[in-house]
A and B are shown apart, each in its own frame.
Chain A
Amino acid sequence: MSSDLACLEGTGIVQFPGWATWLMKLGVWVARTANSGHLVRVAVSVPHRGFAAVFAALGIAAGTYRSSLHTDPNDRLEYFSSLAPGTPVRYRLGDSTDRYECAEFVSVEPVAGTPYIRLSARTLNYIREMSRFRFIEPLPSGIPAPARSRTICKAPSFVESATGQDPIEHGFSTRLECVMIGTKIVLESELQIELVAGGERGILQDLWRCSELLNPADGYRSRIVSAYSEPDSEMVDRPEGGAVLDGPSAIMYRHLVSDRPWIALIDRTHRRAMDARDAILVDRASSLEDIDLPIGYPPPGVEALGFIDPLP
């Protein structure tokens, strides 16, 4: 994340407080351990739950991010050849537009030795050179394709300034990097906070790209799961970077992400804070060992306990 990323509040630009940057750093570090030889668990207690989960989750998303576009021509050919005819896809045609369109994939066809892709959309049936389809991927199953083209990224300049990434690439593809389990309505509202980076304005959701706040056909990078509607493993769906469990109710569902790293947040004033603490300590008792967090001491008001579990 850019160092000049800051909040935009009524009074003007407000630098991220120490606890917010520490939680983001924690998220980045946890995500980067996701493919190590063990599973990292970090319990964090805070004096107030506000924004702690979204900042930790933003860190996880940032620490996980990598382009999922197929850039190698051979990879691309193999990828498209594996798609079944009739697969709904979304794609961006050309480099000048910030919108995507939807169509049905028909086939990969060689034309004069060069692979071309044939798509069909309502009345149109067209073929384009494969190299022009840098941005193309199947729509999630069961999602109706929008009739009109849609914006890929609402605040591209902001995303670029904040993340240093290509905003179209960031916004186009779907890859589940992080899941937050908690009170959905609260987390969704926290993703609406205004931010500023490099003089460009945006909201936290522009960076985190939570599927619940996007059109079903849009590319997303993260998901919020309510801790109150009996979530199952399908809803949580193995986030690549890890999960954030916001509060005691969410912590009770940590078994759903037992094969991913997680950060559990406990508001110390919550009436079930001790239950959540006890649940964490039970896990810790059967873990491999405690670990020091290589991101510096927690800031005042924050308590953290890290330990590692073996891979399942």
Chain B
Amino acid sequence: MTVSQVDTYYRASRRARIHQVTVRHRSLQDLASSARSFYRRTRDSELWGTYNRLVRRVVWDLLNTPLPASHPALGVEAASRDLDRVLGSLREVAANTASGNAVSIAAMVRRLAGDNTDPLGGRCRSILRETGTLRALVLVRSRRFREPVEERFGAAGCPVPVVVPAQLANLDVHEAMVIIGQARFYDSSVLNAPRAENMWVIRYRGLRDIETAEPLLPSNPKRQKQVIARNQRQRIRPTSDEFLAPTIDWDALRDNAARQEGSGQLRTQPLDHVESCLARLYILAGGQAVYLISDRSSKILSLDPEADTDDRVLWVAVHELRPGSIVLLRREGGGGDFIEEIADRILGSEAGPLRLAQQRWKKALRKRVYETGLAAVEDELRHRGSRYQNVGYWMSPRSIRTRDRHDFRILVTYLGLGREADQLWVQMGAIDSAHRKAGHVARRRLLEQVQGVNLSLLDRIGYFDFHVEGHRAGTLTAFRIEGKAPKSDRVAESHLNHPFEVGPDLWLE
């Protein structure tokens, strides 16, 4: 890249013009309005939780996608059936005014399922035709609709690249970009680091939006006054709208995960304190989710496309993962910890007895914590002379042994395994060594794979498969993290690192 090429981004910042365009769709606007009123009245009722989630999802997709409501990618017909089903199950317990409104909203959705009008798409295409440029883009929020929109626009004689926000960072500056939906629900960089000199934001009439880009950095107060005085411009700060905001219903996702236990997508395991651990749920691109252990010491293989070539595959602390991070997980064979499998392969016939020994002291520790409490166990270990009391981590399946041999001896003696202390330390050392080797092997193989891969696919699609040859790890998938649960849950250890499908009715991007 040259300085002149980089300058095009600054020129776009200087010249960018944002055009606000509104379109009408009476039935959809009525649906959005009714659904919003209904949601405001019933949002605290658990009874209407599933119903509201389904409706919010349908409304969100319709308001932010330049496709007709009848387009199969939007799934309005399926959503309508789901709504009827939910209403059927609620009919007896919710025979009141709310129920009547819910039925009429479901009827609106049903009618829209057959609606072929496409105000967002139509207006978008007419803008693109009016600009007469081939260097144009359409920005949609959701990856799910990128391809259907591109196909439909192509079929309508308006071939144009359709991109999602994650792709913008690596895009050249175009002449025109049409942003679908309210700009306030996009990252502020869409407007304040523009990738086009002319941007049209198309939304449905009646939906409030921002008019200018919010800066990333706050100005010094003095300067801020000067800027406002100079521009004589007032930013519109829309009030938050819980109904429209694309939030993730984490409780519903947890329920969904629990449901999938029964369907065999997640391995079922008894959920007691001996076999469980604290883990956090992450939403992954491609409609998947995964539980990752939430202690502060655990690490996971991650991919950083911006890092130096030799550092692109790296171990990162799980607690540092956030939306936008990329994690490497195995989908084949039900997922799970592939490092453990490679380590077991390195350990050969010793793996079985060594793992049993590992489970023995861990189970004893968890049992003791369950019986007496974490703080009491830590106090007791401190009293016995242990230098560190990282009991929470030692309980986790990722911990193999304590860092310090002295602490390990105190720990296992406290657990009643004092006679085996030395032997256990050596055995755990063998596992630890195999894990380190396995980690190096996996990282090296992945680095080799990453060299030949177009990592921009991760922005466009959100996940990418790597075939790690020569090891049982098989196919690993690099997933972009889309969401991180605000709190941890207690889950069966066997659920960790197993990506699972999340249902289409969940509130996702």
Partner of A304, one of B14, B217, B314: B217
What's the least CB distance linking A135 to chain B, in Å? 34
Check: B447 CB closer than 8 A to any chain A CB: no
By a CB distance below 8 angstroms, the chain A residues around B221 are 290
**In contact, B193 and A48 (Cβ under 8 angstroms):** yes
Check: A50 CB closer than 8 A to any chain B CB: yes
By a CB distance below 8 angstroms, the chain B residues around A271 are 166, 169, 323-325
**In contact, B304 and A228 (Cβ under 8 angstroms):** yes
Would you list which residues of chain B between 1 and 29 have a CB under 8 Å from chain A? 1-7, 9-10, 12-14
**In contact, A269 and B168 (Cβ under 8 angstroms):** yes
**In contact, B324 and A266 (Cβ under 8 angstroms):** no
Interface range on chain A: under 10, 10 to 19, 20 to 34, or 35 or more?
35 or more
By a CB distance below 8 angstroms, the chain B residues around A127 are none
What's the least CB distance linking B227 to chain A, in Å? 9
By a CB distance below 8 angstroms, the chain B residues around A266 are 216-217
Q: CA separation between A270 and B223, bound complex, in Å?
A: 26
A305 and B193 contact, Cβ closer than 8 Å, known pairs A183-B308, A228-B314, A269-B169: no
| Chain B residue at smallest Cβ distance from A299 | B10
Check: A27 CB closer than 8 A to any chain B CB: no
By a CB distance below 8 angstroms, the chain A residues around B311 are 226, 228-229
Check: A128 CB closer than 8 A to any chain B CB: no
By a CB distance below 8 angstroms, the chain B residues around A306 are 220
**In contact, B308 and A292 (Cβ under 8 angstroms):** no
**In contact, A16 and B222 (Cβ under 8 angstroms):** no
Would you list which residues of chain B between 258 and 311 have a CB under 8 Å from chain A? 304, 306-309, 311
Q: CA separation between A299 and B13, bound complex, in Å?
A: 10
By a CB distance below 8 angstroms, the chain A residues around B14 are 299-301
Check: A275 CB closer than 8 A to any chain B CB: yes
Check: A273 CB closer than 8 A to any chain B CB: yes
Query: Across the A-B interface, how many residue pairs have beta carbons closer than 8 Å?
Result: 127
By a CB distance below 8 angstroms, the chain B residues around A43 are 217
| Chain B residue at smallest Cβ distance from A18 | B10
Check: A272 CB closer than 8 A to any chain B CB: yes
**In contact, B217 and A280 (Cβ under 8 angstroms):** yes
Q: Which of B1, B222, B322 has the most CB of A within 10 A?
A: B1
Q: CA separation between A272 and B325, bound complex, in Å?
A: 9
**In contact, B10 and A47 (Cβ under 8 angstroms):** yes
**In contact, A270 and B169 (Cβ under 8 angstroms):** yes
**In contact, A292 and B223 (Cβ under 8 angstroms):** yes
Check: A184 CB closer than 8 A to any chain B CB: yes
Check: B97 CB closer than 8 A to any chain A CB: no
A305 and B217 contact, Cβ closer than 8 Å, known pairs A20-B3, A268-B193, A269-B169: yes
Q: CA separation between A281 and B3, bound complex, in Å?
A: 30
A17 and B10 contact, Cβ closer than 8 Å, known pairs A185-B309, A267-B169, A269-B168: yes
What's the least CB distance linking B214 to chain A, in Å? 10
**In contact, A47 and B3 (Cβ under 8 angstroms):** no
Q: Which of A18, A186, A305 has the most CB of B within 10 A?
A: A305
A268 and B3 contact, Cβ closer than 8 Å, known pairs A228-B311, A292-B223: no
* Chain A 217-233 per-residue mask, 1 if CB under 8 angstroms from chain B, else 0: 00000000011110000
Check: B194 CB closer than 8 A to any chain A CB: yes
Check: A9 CB closer than 8 A to any chain B CB: yes
Check: B189 CB closer than 8 A to any chain A CB: yes
**In contact, B6 and A48 (Cβ under 8 angstroms):** yes
Check: A121 CB closer than 8 A to any chain B CB: no
**In contact, B220 and A290 (Cβ under 8 angstroms):** yes
Partner of B13, one of A14, A291, A300: A300
What's the least CB distance linking B474 to chain A, in Å? 27
A7 and B4 contact, Cβ closer than 8 Å, known pairs A228-B311, A269-B168: yes
List 12 other contacts, CB 8 Å, given A48-B10, A228-B314: A17-B3, A17-B4, A48-B9, A50-B6, A51-B6, A184-B308, A185-B309, A193-B3, A228-B311, A292-B223, A302-B10, A304-B217
A-B contact pairs, 24 of them (CB 8 A): A17-B7, A19-B7, A45-B216, A50-B6, A183-B308, A186-B306, A226-B308, A227-B307, A266-B217, A267-B193, A268-B188, A268-B189, A270-B306, A271-B325, A272-B324, A290-B221, A292-B223, A299-B10, A301-B9, A301-B12, A301-B14, A301-B193, A302-B10, A305-B219
Chain A contacts to B: CB under 8 angstroms: 7, 9-11, 14, 16-20, 43, 45-48, 50-51, 183-186, 193, 226-229, 247, 249, 266-275, 277, 280-281, 290-292, 297, 299-306
The 5 closest A-B pairs by CB, nearest first: A301-B13, A271-B324, A300-B14, A50-B6, A228-B311
